[in-house]
Structure 1
Amino acid sequence: MTSRRSPVAVRLAGVAVVLVSLLAGCSAGPPSGPASSPPGSPVPGVSSAAPSGPVLPDVAPTPPDGRPLLPVPAVVAPGVVDPPPGTGLARYTGQRPTWSRCTRRVECATVAAPLDWSAPDGRALTLTMGRVRATASPRLGSLFLNPGGPGGSGLGLLSGFSTQGLEHWDLVSWDPRGVGRSTPVRCSSDATLDRLFALDGTPDDAAEASALNSAVEGFGRDCLAGSGALLEHISTADTVRDLDLLRGLVGDERLHYLGFSYGTQIGAQYADTFPEHTGPMVLDGAVDLGDDSPVDQIQGFERALGHFASWCESQGCALGRDRADVLATVRRILTDLDAHPLPGSGDRQLTQALGVSGVVTPLYDGAAGWPRLSAVLEQALRGQGSGLLGLADAGNERGADGHYGSVATAFPAIRCLDSQARSVAAADRRAAGLERKAPVLGPFNGADVFCPLWPVAPAPKTGRLHRVGDRPVVVVGTTGDPATPYEYAGDMARDLDSAVLVTHEGEGHTAYGSSACVRGLVQAYLNDGRVPQDGVRCTD
């Protein structure tokens, strides 16, 4: 990365947090339904027929607690293969990766890993990793990178990652299981994802609640039908085992690691699982390891939106006379989208859920994203939604051709296997609390019903993570981070043994690519073993 974060790294380090909002539902206000769906294109699991019979109650019946588990079909997902020759785990640890050029600067190799790590003689899946070779001597080994997600492509990150300051390392990353060029999760069509992302996530009556729950359940069924047993084996714990396999296959005794956003979860869980194999590790944009922080993610976005509003006031933008007026304008735009979607591009409309995503996406870029956000909000005031829709598409990894990247399907599948959530009612109660914590964005956040309605049982709950081996872990937090609020970094640094906290006083998601000070501290630690002073602050 250069002094400005690579767009690839920014999007993949944070895109899943946008999807948290989208897949959990991001709209409120009067009912509108899936306004962008073309006639005759029902949302999966939602009847297009008009309701009949008794008048529905104001509140939809709450689905019973407990996930609607389904039998796992015998479908073999693409990329699930026979295991390598041999028996037990030795058949995997004895592989020799064959590297070949896959992009202008990246070499790739494909290896096998057990589909089920508890049954290494069963079926295997494929993992694709990439490498940018060291260009300076002495070579220090392999530095593994992870962009976040869950569902971010490591190969995509590697393609845009600057080697400056890290020339002594082979930079290595991989598409985790369920993602991209590794064995991917297969779910719905692009058209179905379009309808799902546009669906009203804050239902006002029984019909809208039923539509939301049916669509979410239908999406989960599609994923199970397309992916089979893979959906049971894509947890973070599985990915951590894969990472240790890859470490050994590239010939390193210890893992050297730089992880962003959800990549900090992978790193912390790796250090706790394999402390004897953990080398220097940097975790930038720390997540909430215990999922019990009093600060919710939506509060991070609310803070960042407030910083944008203050900037907007200072610039004399057209959104309002002062900070409060700007925030009121943003809320009014999003509220109006529920009943009155705006024309977008082509035959697509900007619905409320897509509007929220369009507002959230540029906040990842910090101050660099504020002029663009101001411009598209001013456009929306003039009745045109294409700008916000374009930002929503960027955050959702939707290409100009209408095709979605793998994060759109891998993210919910991985997240819901890790999650212990089983209750729609509990999700509704939590959503109500978020409206009080974040008065501007909270009302549009909606209840996270995806995991309570997921058709696959949760993976075993992970215990409290704390071990890091005999090397310090460097945890980096940014005070204005929208997606991983700064408090998470302090919590992670306290939770992990021998961790040190580096604070970036700035805006945007993650710090390595935007702060020369942070970058210098990180590189000195990785290259020379110089541990930053705990509590050091960077102000650039």
Structure 2
Amino acid sequence: MRVRTLGRWAVATLALALLAACVPQQTPSPSAPAPSPSATAAVPSGEVIDVSLVPNLEVDRPTSTDSNAQPAGFEDAPKGGLAGYTKQQLDWSTCGGKYECAEVLAPLDYANPDDQAITLALAKKAATKSPKLGTLFVNPGGPGGSGRNLVTYFASTGLEQYDIVGWDPRGTNASTPVKCFDDEETQAFTELDSSPDDPAETEALIVGTWQFAQSCREHSGALLDHISTVDTVRDLDLLRQLVGDEKLTFLGYSYGTQIGSYYADVFPQQVGRLVLDAAVDITDDDSVIQAMGFDLALGNFAAWCARQKCSLGSSKQAVLKTITDFFDELDATPLKVGDRPLTQTIAVSGVAAYLYGGIPAWRTLSNDLKSALAGDGTRLLKASDRLNDRNEDGTFGSLFYSFPAIGCADGYDKGVVEAEQRWVIDQQKAPIFGTYFGPGYTCPLWTARSTIQFKPTGSGAAPIVVVGATGDPATPYQSAVTMAKQLESGVLVTYAGEGHGTFGGKSTCVDRLVIDYLVNGTVPTDGVKCQ
């Protein structure tokens, strides 16, 4: 599979549930596109940077000096090769109310299991009904979302016969996380312009992205070379063995659908019941890009806003013009929010955050845009912070760093020049977000090579249910169509509605079909449509 180069958002890999304020609580708010870093504290605003400072700019993925960093969670490998890992016992202990937690070891490099181990952290909500059906593994997306956190709000009604288990994939949260810039540097990193419109901004973006990549290598070391989705799939099969399940039962949102589709390709005979909701692109087709989904969602919001007689405009086009004019004004003059700036890039990410929630988030988006236009960008800044995994105290969660690390490990690119050429094409396909998302410099300047590219088909796997929403902003509906088609046992379920991720309260029809499949094994009719 070829994954588009990462800009400030990934095209094929998305993020975690950070948008609780933007979506209804009964919906698992599975994914938000995390930022792919594009600025650095080493590049003061307005300073002209000499791009020659970046070594080997003409070479894709420049090499960097070796690092002996030992990220948190590096441990001595158990004796006995891979067998030493499969003999581990899961020692569950209470970690808050009705939840249990555990840690296990996995090989940093499955080709050399005796060399170095990493730590994987898990959480479980135990089954409460009999007969027990086994374990349902869940993933909220990302890459970088916390599966342990997902367990605490996952919509488990109807699935009480399963132990619900979520894990933090390698490189994220409590599972040997990627480390890069400190919080102050990361904050400055988010404040540079991700869609440069003059040479100084372009050079600052390139230099800043390169420095970020160097920082990740310095602080994360060899972890960056063993953090791909294929590595995570091997971890997931290890966890399947450790819980004692003969087959894998799995529900993944967004990037979690990449985990599931890869698993079906690598371990087809171990596939039990897989549900892949908000499917990412697993094809080589670049005709539909993520920015097109955001443009569609913003257009749907604008049409709704005009019908509601909101203050942003009397027609869809008028609302869109109000929003884009506001973005363009911020490009020249950021809005002050306390001691922080609401820049164009930050405002764009804030608006994108609301689009994940679909219609329930639209009224809040309308009100917060109205406030920002009146000079108060507080709420829009907070929405962007959620998307960037920034906490109120100014610290950043691991998503900001693991997102590009995993995405670039999976990703395919042809260098900085091609990233700029693609940006031109993206703006033609998606005039709004295709423009503001900017060029994808992150992977061309990353210090780890991409893994072997392949096209998952899941040949020999049991039926796999793929769910797609027609108004999904982050994973366009066409990706669900092509995933279900490419996976030989794929079955498509369509939700005619808005928002990112469907199972868990948006559609009783989708919920019924998914639960019936997971509990009773009843495979939905391919192509079934739900409201």
Q: What is the TM-score normalised by the length of structure 1? A: 0.91
SS at 2:28's partner residue?
A: helix
2-structure distance, mates of 1:357, 1:466: 33
Matched, 1:120 2:113: yes
- Aligned residue number for residue 479 of structure 1: 470
SS at 2:102's partner residue?
A: strand
- Aligned residue number for residue 65 of structure 1: 59
SS at 1:108's partner residue?
A: strand
2-structure distance, mates of 1:502, 1:45: 48
Cα deviation, 1:296-338, whole Å, max 9, x if unaligned, reads: 1000000000110011011100001111000000100101101
Q: 2:218 aligns with which of 225, 236, 241?
A: 225
Matched, 1:444 2:460: no
After superposition, residues 495-534 of structure 1 pair within 5 angstroms as 495-513=486-504, 514-534=506-526
Amino acid at match of 2:137: F
Q: 1:48/1:172 Cα in 2 relative to 1: closer, same or farther (>3 Å)?
A: closer
Of residues 64-73 and 225-234 in structure 1, the stretch that sits farther from structure 2 once superposed is: 64-73
Matched, 1:429 2:421: yes
After superposition, residues 43-442 of structure 1 pair within 5 angstroms as 43-46=40-43, 63-84=57-78, 86-344=79-337, 346-442=338-434
Cα contact 2:26–2:155 (8 A) shared by 1: no
Amino acid at match of 1:404: F
2-structure distance, mates of 1:490, 1:48: 43
Amino acid at match of 2:43: V
Matched, 1:19 2:32: no
How far did 1:442 drift?
2.2
Of residues 115-124 and 290-299 in structure 1, the stretch that sits farther from structure 2 once superposed is: 290-299
Cα contact 1:65–1:422 (8 A) shared by 2: no
1-structure distance, mates of 2:459, 2:83: 26
Amino acid at match of 1:175: D
Q: Percent identity?
A: 47
SS at 2:68's partner residue?
A: coil
1-structure distance, mates of 2:252, 2:49: 52
Cα contact 1:293–1:488 (8 A) shared by 2: no
How far did 1:470 drift?
4.2
SS at 2:356's partner residue?
A: helix
Amino acid at match of 1:420: Y
RMSD: 2.2
How far did 1:49 drift?
9.9
- Aligned residue number for residue 465 of structure 1: 456
Cα contact 1:45–1:217 (8 A) shared by 2: no
Unaligned runs of 5+ residues in structure 1 are 26-33, 35-42
Q: What is the TM-score normalised by the length of structure 2? A: 0.92
How far did 1:285 drift?
0.4
2-structure distance, mates of 1:7, 1:395: 20
Q: 1:538/1:76 Cα in 2 relative to 1: closer, same or farther (>3 Å)?
A: same
Q: 1:52/1:304 Cα in 2 relative to 1: closer, same or farther (>3 Å)?
A: closer
How far did 1:193 drift?
1.4
2-structure distance, mates of 1:526, 1:354: 40
2-structure distance, mates of 1:412, 1:118: 24
2-structure distance, mates of 1:515, 1:194: 38
- Aligned residue number for residue 31 of structure 1: none
How many positions carry a matched residue from both structures? Answer: 509
1-structure distance, mates of 2:56, 2:449: 20
Unaligned runs of 5+ residues in structure 2 are 1-16
